[in-house]
Amino acid sequence: MTRTLSQQQLDTLGQLVIELPSWAFGNSGTRFKVFGTPGTPRDPFEKIADAAQVSKYTGLGQVVALHYPWDKVDDYGTLLEHAQEHGVGLGTVNSNTFQDDDFKFGSLTHEDSKLRQKAIDHHFECIDIMNVTGSRDLKIWLADGSNYPGQADMRGRQDRLQDSLQQIYARLSDAQRLVLEYKFFEPAFYHTDVPDWGTSYAQVSALGDKAVVCLDTGHHAPGTNIEFIVMQLLRLGKLGSFDFNSRFYADDDLIVGAADPYQLFRILTEVIRGGGWNNPNLAFMLDQCHNVEDKIPGQIRSVLNVQEMAARALLLDRDALGEAQRSGDVLEANEIFMDAYQIDVREQLAAWRESRGFAANPMRAYAASGYQQQIAQERVGGQQASWGA
């Protein structure tokens, strides 16, 4: 088998676009503690400047996803110009109905029509922002759910959710999409209103072609075969985006590929099987937080992990695999699959990166650039941006 990427495969790899979450550059933590870090951005402009560093050294992370109202600014046209000046675009707008007291018992599913309208209006505001930034995707993750059996009428909530989503969907332009994320726990623990891909699929399918599913890799029960879900949603034409991260125990939001690089490889293998990342309908977002490590290199490591696993997935000998599968050679098929995963592509990718004008070793190049020290010195005073600010 070939252990190096052909020029054609490298060209395919070069088409990978990754969206960086603006919130990864702010402080984050757990319910126990949010640590501050010298140099943390104080506003969305500084977050974007930091995101541009990732792109500068890796050629990846060319788009920044926003979270509203965390990234509230007076003028989104100015924010867009700022992003463009830094060589990055603005991508998905993530709504946020999980930090307002009014939404304690739900948002788009709320029993109280006034509060439900408030949640719908929040999404209209997000669409207004998208109209200025040129963003295609409105991503909705709902904290809605209940903690105790009997607490809520789960069925009524599904109906109200569909009605709310229809109103939001009706506001989208033809170039925009609604992307519905699922999560089976937290902050509600007994039931959540969009717990799994099936529910998300049912809800978005009832809306129409411009509504798709977001798969966050941290939102499944341990042991879930996530690549199966990737395959199925791609097959149905309903996988709209990924929120990539890693988990050990819960929604840990760790660096993608850190906990289980093999799982990332398996997911990317199904992405290629389903048409690859040049599928314009599939957004590759990261949804991560860097609680104890520096944020910019944390993001650099993340995009490199995706790139490396994508390269290994490209090296999978699909012809040989297909033959082994058809002939029922279980162990041969498994060996071919594992073989691709085991190939160390780091040296080849370093040379390729350099040939395209990027750093051979982006982690080292960033560390040597002095940017981290510079922001630590310059960004004194003000309020550090945070998950929840």
Instruction: Say how far apart CA 30 and CA 219 lie, in whole Å.
Output: 17
Residue pair 92/285 in contact by the 8 Å Cβ criterion: yes
Least distance between Mn ion and beta carbon 233 (Å):
15
Give CA angle at 381 (376, 384), nearest 5°.
75
Residue pair 22/64 in contact by the 8 Å Cβ criterion: yes
Residue among 216 and 294 whose Cβ is closer to ligand PSV: 216
* Residue 94 touches which member of Mn ion, ligand PSV, none, C-beta under 5-8 Å by kind: ligand PSV
Q: Does 19 bind ligand PSV (CB under 6 A)?
A: no
Strand stretches in 32-164, DSSP E: 63-67, 89-94, 137-140, 145-146
Which residues within the stretch 238-267 sit at the binding site for Mn ion (CB under 5 A)?
Answer: 243
Give CA angle at 91 (352, 124), nearest 5°.
170
Q: Please identify which residue in 50, 144, 227, 243 interacts with ligand PSV, judged by CB under 6 A.
A: 243
Residue among 253 and 308 whose Cβ is closer to ligand PSV: 253
* Residue 288 touches which member of Mn ion, ligand PSV, none, C-beta under 5-8 Å by kind: none
Q: Does 183 bind ligand PSV (CB under 6 A)?
A: yes
Residue among 179 and 234 whose Cβ is closer to ligand PSV: 179
* Residue 299 touches which member of ligand PSV, Mn ion, none, C-beta under 5-8 Å by kind: none
* Residue 76 touches which member of Mn ion, ligand PSV, none, C-beta under 5-8 Å by kind: none
Least distance between Mn ion and beta carbon 22 (Å):
13
Binding mask 269-308 for ligand PSV (x = CB under 6 A): ------------------x---------------------
- Strand, helix or coil at 198? helix
Which residues within the stretch 100-139 sit at the binding site for ligand PSV (CB under 6 A)?
Answer: none
CB-count exposure of residue 150 (10 Å: 0-12, 13-18, 19+): exposed
Binding mask 335-354 for Mn ion (x = CB under 5 A): --------------------
189: left (phi over 0), alpha (psi -120 to 50) or beta: alpha
Binding mask 23-62 for ligand PSV (x = CB under 6 A): x---------------------------------------
Give CA angle at 306 (300, 309), nearest 5°.
135
Q: Does 137 bind Mn ion (CB under 5 A)?
A: no
Least distance between Mn ion and beta carbon 139 (Å):
8
Instruction: Say how far apart CA 338 and CA 329 lie, in whole Å.
Output: 14
φ, ψ (nearest 5 deg) of residue 387: -60, 105
- Strand, helix or coil at 237? coil
Q: Please identify which residue in 25, 57, 68, 141 interacts with ligand PSV, judged by CB under 6 A.
A: 141
Scanning 117-125, 154-162, 190-198, 284-292 for contacts with Mn ion by CB under 5 A, the matching segment is 284-292
Residue among 140 and 268 whose Cβ is closer to ligand PSV: 140
307-310 long-range CB contacts below 8 Å, 24 or more apart? 307/13, 307/16, 307/58, 307/60, 307/349, 308/257, 308/261, 308/345, 308/346, 308/349, 309/257, 309/261, 309/264, 309/265, 309/268, 310/13, 310/16, 310/268, 310/277
Which residues within the stretch 162-201 sit at the binding site for Mn ion (CB under 5 A)?
Answer: none
- Residues in contact with Mn ion by CB under 5 A are 216, 243, 287
- Residues in contact with ligand PSV by CB under 6 A are 23, 94, 141, 181, 183, 216, 243, 251, 287
